[in-house]
Amino acid sequence: MKLKKYLDPKQPVKSSDFKTMPKYFQVGTYVDGMDYYNIKKKKKIKVIELTNFQNMIKRNKLQKIHFRRFNKDNKESVKQIQNQENQKEQQNLQEEKINDDQLMFCGYPIFMQLNNQYFLIQKSIRELLSLRLLFNKKLVFVMK
């Protein structure tokens, strides 16, 4: 009974106390009172009820299609944003220039810090600077 508003959102139903779906619930058929079945229905009323039911089914199908499209578009837009960010990062890496001050430490052992561990690197300075740009980490220079 409390979840009835989710089946037909346009039908006014008394609001429930909870905002989220309950952890456990049962699905069943709602049986009307005996007075409802004693009334003779005219053909027009039956046709109207059937069309309303069909309209509700169509509306639910359209909502499902809309949600699927929205999720698909959302995923595509997230991918586009990630691609743009990756392109910006690559441009920033290319734009960063190597200073002469960075080339001064040429003859000393060089350690790279990754996840609080130091690794000795025996590479040329240009390779080291490209490593630093790739990992975006600090290089620690140790002088003897």
What pTM did the predictor assign? 0.27
Q: Is the pLDDT of residue 15 over 80?
A: no
- pLDDT per residue as tens digits for the range 76-115: 777 777 788 888 777 776 655 444 344 444 455 555 555 6
Closest residue by Cα to residue 19 from 40, 31, 7, 2: 2
**40-56 mean pLDDT:** 77
